Amino acid sequence: MNQTDHPGLVSGISQPEDERDAILRPRVLAEFLGQQALKDNLAVFIQAARQRNEPLDHVFLIGPPGLGKTTLAGIVSREMEAEFKLTSAPALEKPKDLAGVLTTLAPKSVFFIDEIHRLKPAIEEMLYMAMEDGELDFIIGQGPAARTVRIPLPPFTLVGATTRAGMVSSPLISRFGITLRLGFYESADVMAIIRRSAGILDVRLDEAAAALLAAASRGTPRVANRLLRRMRDFAQVAGTQLVTRRIVQDGLSRLEIDQYGLERHDRDVLTAIIEKYGGGPVGAETLAVSTGESVETLEDYVEPYLMQAGFVMRTPRGRVATPLAYQHLGYRSPNEAERLPF
């Protein structure tokens, strides 16, 4: 059963891209490729909880977008043979929204909240008691006639996911018993994911094409799957059933994606740092305004990979372009001007 047609689906994060990715999502932990240490630990926790016939402890997932946080939440529900409900923090506008979900959970259910750093304070405080005591305090009425009703909840597992762990309050983090941090995937793992997805989509591709796709996928399965579908389109229109290295090279060029996986807006950010701010340092808000991006997009989607790949450094004074960024974009680095051609 896909996450998009699960009877426990709440609302908030289902998007067309997610629906297209649904058939490619691993359904059980054994199918989840990469993140081996994380998988090994999670398998132990799940096995122990099942042996005790208890719900899994609350799980906190941290990592950039596209690394598999939602997928892991779905896997946890299947491995625990539990009902799965999911939503995103912005969809929970009032305490009654959260109460409505929690009071309808079946015992041992897995409740997934994406973007948990965006929870409103009143909802977050309600969640504290639900996670720790298995109860809800709900206020009925107003003024002198108001009274508090304590509602018991069935035992459940909360899985919270965030791309910005620093924005999650300490009281909330402390209530999660299991914290898992997802990092960018190794090239070999991305290639394995591409091969698996190609088999599901019935796409034939040679090893050289898979390697080039993996290199351009930013260490992110979501990006790898998106690029694989686009290369399938290019091959189909070109009248061939095999995705070759040449097709991938031409396709990436048409999509304005370079050999490092940098897209046009990534290069725009690097160019702005170098040309407008002398290589930095420059603050996130200033950089966002000069590139037409929101600060959230810059910090959540663009910056993590640029830092991981060695194009940007974050300092106390702001972002700084590295010599690799200068070299990749064809600029002379101020620190290496004498060694680079004018």
Q: What is the DSSP string of 28-71?
A: SGGG--S-HHHHHHHHHHHHHHHHHT-PPPPEEEE--TTSSHHH
Q: Are the CB atoms for 84 and 110 separated by under 8 Å? A: yes
Q: Reply yes or no on whether 150 is catalytic.
A: no
Q: List pLDDT tens digits, range 228-268.
A: 999 999 999 988 889 999 999 999 999 999 888 898 888 88
Measured between alpha carbons, how far is residue 49 from residues 30, 33, 45, 224 in Å? 18, 23, 6, 33
Domains 187-254 and 264-339 share a fold: no
pTM of this prediction?
0.81
- Write the Ramachandran bin of 292: left for phi over 0, alpha for psi from -120 to 50, otherwise beta: left
Q: Which of 114, 157, 244, 266 is catalytic?
A: 114
CA 66 – CA 13 distance, rounded (Å): 13
SS3 333: coil
Cis ω before 281 (30° cut-off from 0): yes
Q: Are the CB atoms for 135 and 109 separated by under 8 Å? A: no
pLDDT at residue 19, as a whole number: 53
Q: In the predicted model, what is the mean pLDDT of the chain?
A: 85
Annotate 248-316 with DSSP letters as a single string.
HHHHHHHTT--TT---HHHHHHHHHHHHHHTT--B-HHHHHHHHT--HHHIIIIIHHHHHHTTSEEEET
- Which residues lie across from 114 on neighbouring strands? 88
Indicate the pLDDT class of residue 42, thresholds 50, 70 and 90: very high
Which carries the bigger pLDDT value, residue 318 or residue 213? 213
Superfamily for domain range 3-181:
P-loop containing nucleotide triphosphate hydrolases (3.40.50.300)
206: Cα separation from own chain's centroid: 28
pLDDT at residue 340, as a whole number: 43
Q: Are the CB atoms for 167 and 295 separated by under 8 Å? A: no
Q: Where are the domains of the chain?
A: 3-181, 187-254, 264-339
pLDDT at residue 224, as a whole number: 94
Which carries the bigger pLDDT value, residue 243 or residue 10? 243
Mean pLDDT of 115-130: 89
Q: Reply yes or no on whether 114 is catalytic.
A: yes
CATH architecture of 187-254: Orthogonal Bundle (1.10)
Q: Measured at the alpha carbon of residue 301, what is the angle toward residues 300 and 306, in degrees to the nearest 5?
A: 105
Q: Reply yes or no on whether 286 is catalytic.
A: no
CA 248 – CA 213 distance, rounded (Å): 7
Q: Reply yes or no on whether 18 is catalytic.
A: no
Q: What stretch of H or E contains 157?
A: strand 156-162
CA 130 – CA 122 distance, rounded (Å): 13
Among 160, 162, 171, 210, which Cα is nearest to 190's?
A: 210
Q: What stretch of H or E contains 123?
A: helix 121-133
Quote the tokens at residue 322. Answer: 């590295």
CA 65 – CA 62 distance, rounded (Å): 9
Q: Which of 70, 71, 162, 244 is catalytic?
A: 70
pLDDT at 279 over 90: no
Q: Which of 71, 162, 163, 220 is catalytic?
A: 163
Q: Reply yes or no on whether 69 is catalytic.
A: yes
Mean pLDDT of 55-84: 93
Phi then psi dihedrals of residue 60, to 5 deg: -115, 120
Q: List pLDDT tens digits, range 86-121.
A: 899 999 888 888 888 888 889 999 999 999 999 998
Q: Which residues contact 48 (CB under 8 A, 6 or more apart)?
A: none
CATH architecture of 264-339: Orthogonal Bundle (1.10)
Among 36, 75, 76, which Cα is nearest to 58's?
A: 76
